């Protein structure tokens, strides 16, 4: 498994409420400043969460080297599969939850408030926490260097930045496109998330079967 295998999980990171928030910030009174604040908050959490998990699993492998490399890696694979199972359940349960009420205030958000939303939203969402743990653990299990986490982080931010890019490229036409993106994210993004989770679970199960 290479770092490219981790990239699809970036879709799970942004699907649903996270992307809806990005659309609302891009449609706010100060779209550029608010969107950049939101991206900064998300970047801090995603970068920190994946890095901490990567470090924890690396230390776990070092401390249990006497058990046998194959055995430790199988433990990690089972841990990742358990994370994916819980993640699939969380995504399914949240599919009809809709955006929280506080998101109605994002239209008038300041850059500082947008930064806090990015921090709290990505840190407080169980699906995000599980996804970051999966990415960090998988990278460490396959002895991938720390910098292999960066493409996942950058792709996550790039997906979150799509509403802002649409605003910059489309101008006034973005007012038509962005509501459609928001509605799609609210109603259908969970299906893609589940498909990505299943795909990654297949990769992990293949490692166990070796």
Residue 199 pLDDT: 79
Quote the CA–CA distance of 199 and 210 in Å, as a whole number: 17
Mean pLDDT across the chain: 83
Residue with structure tokens 């962005």? 178
169 band by pLDDT with thresholds 50, 70 and 90: confident
Residue 53 pLDDT: 95
Structural domains counted in the chain: 1
Q: Contact, 76 vs 57, CB < 8 A?
A: yes
Q: Contact, 47 vs 132, CB < 8 A?
A: no
Q: What average pLDDT does the segment 114-119 reach?
A: 92
Range of the domain at 136: 3-209
The pLDDT tens digits of the residues spanning 67-116 come to 556 677 788 888 888 888 888 888 777 766 655 666 667 778 888 999 99
Residue 107 pLDDT: 75
Residue 146 pLDDT: 93
The pTM assigned to this predicted structure is 0.83
66 band by pLDDT with thresholds 50, 70 and 90: low
Percent residues over pLDDT 70 in the chain: 82
Q: Contact, 98 vs 187, CB < 8 A?
A: no
């Amino acid at each position: 498994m290479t770092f490219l295998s981790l990239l699809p999980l970036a879709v799970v990171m942004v699907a649903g409420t996270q992307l809806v928030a990005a659309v609302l910030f891009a449609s706010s009174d100060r779209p550029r400043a608010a969107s950049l604040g939101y991206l900064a908050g998300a970047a801090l959490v995603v970068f920190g969460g994946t890095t901490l998990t990567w470090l924890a699993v690396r230390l776990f492998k070092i401390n249990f080297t006497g058990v046998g490399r194959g055995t430790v890696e199988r433990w990690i694979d089972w841990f990742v599969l358990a994370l994916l199972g819980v993640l699939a359940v969380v995504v399914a349960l949240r599919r009809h939850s809709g955006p929280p009420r506080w998101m109605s205030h994002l239209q008038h958000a300041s850059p500082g408030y947008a930064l806090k939303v990015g921090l709290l939203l990505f840190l407080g969402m169980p699906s995000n926490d599980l996804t970051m743990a999966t990415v960090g653990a998988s990278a460490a299990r396959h002895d991938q260097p720390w910098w292999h986490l960066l493409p996942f982080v950058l792709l996550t931010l790039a997906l979150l930045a799509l509403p802002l890019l649409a605003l910059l490229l489309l101008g006034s036409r973005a007012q038509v496109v962005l509501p459609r993106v928001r509605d799609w994210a609210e109603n259908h993004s969970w299906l893609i998330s589940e498909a990505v989770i299943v795909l990654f679970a297949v990769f992990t199960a293949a490692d166990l079967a070796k």
